[in-house]
Structure 1
Amino acid sequence: MANSTVLIDEIRALEEALHRPEVRRSRTAVEALLAEGFVEFGASGTRYHRAEMIELLCDEDDEPADGELEATDFSLMPISSDAVLLTYRTVRRGSDGPERQALRSSIWKRTGERWQMLFHQGTLTRPAASPADG
């Protein structure tokens, strides 16, 4: 596997590309990022397969109604010679609603010369405790 710093930067960039509206609305971009056999367990508890996820993303509005997404605490763990597990935390701060936090995990696999997402899960969580809350 490549240098771990370079690899986490590459996988993180691919993951965060899927957060951007212009990528999410591009069928070509999403098809390139999601592997055949892709499955997502959404934060809502809904299970999505590749074809329906592509349709859902391509049909999204220009601006997310529930605010900007901030992703932090990225960690990468190799799970085989051609697959990695990426975990991180997201916070979505709505302009008129409550903050929504989730723990996220994605399995990325190398297919030929590129990485593709094979699995994703989002789990809603409470805000992380700060050291002062200790």
Structure 2
Amino acid sequence: MKIAQEELEEIRRLEEMLHRPEIRQSPKAVAELLAEGFVEFGSSGTIYDDRDELIAGLAAERVEPASQPVIACDYAFRSISPDAVLVTYRSIAAAMGDSPSRHALRSSIWQRIDGRWQMIFHQGTLTTPRP
């Protein structure tokens, strides 16, 4: 069964919310987006499999006041089941000070749980800029 385009746009909006500092620093907002049992393979190689610890870590992130928003592009959506979607895309975090821009290939699995979409898995893999 194919998932409606409106739902895919909703998933994209939810995905991009997790890039925003004001959402990442709100434990309540992040808890609504990440399902119980959530797992992430971070671009650093770290495995995050303790949802509560991850939420606390995001809330404590230091954000540079002049930081640019993360750009997300090249989205692709693949239905896994009537209630699950694999989302893949590229993210670009702008250069800050001496740090170069960070390009990553990202994948997430979103599942409809109790009538709302929640992320159950995420992976970020650093990559080079597109030519």
Is this a same-fold pair by TM over 0.5? yes
Structure 1 gap ranges (5+): 130-134
1:102 corresponds to: 104
Is the aligned partner of 1:14 residue 2:29? no
Alignment deviations for residues 37-63 of structure 1 (CA, whole Å, 9 cap, x no partner): 100000000000212210111111243
2:35 corresponds to: 35
Is the aligned partner of 1:77 residue 2:73? no
1:124 corresponds to: 126
Extract structure 1 runs of 4+ deviating beyond 6 A. none
CA distance 1:68–1:110, change in 2 (3 Å)? same
Structure 2 gap ranges (5+): none
Counting only pairs closer than 5 Å after superposition, residues 45-60 of structure 1 correspond to structure 2 as 45-49=45-49, 50-60=51-61
Alignment partners' CA distance in 1, 2:65 and 2:124: 17
Count of aligned residue pairs for this structure pair = 128
TM-score (norm 1): 0.88
Q: 1:21, 1:63 within 8 Å by CA — same for their partners in 2?
A: no
Q: Shift in Å at residue 7 of structure 1?
A: 2.0
Alignment partners' CA distance in 1, 2:121 and 2:56: 17
Q: Percent of counterpart pairs with the same letter?
A: 55
- RMSD of aligned Cα (Å): 1.7
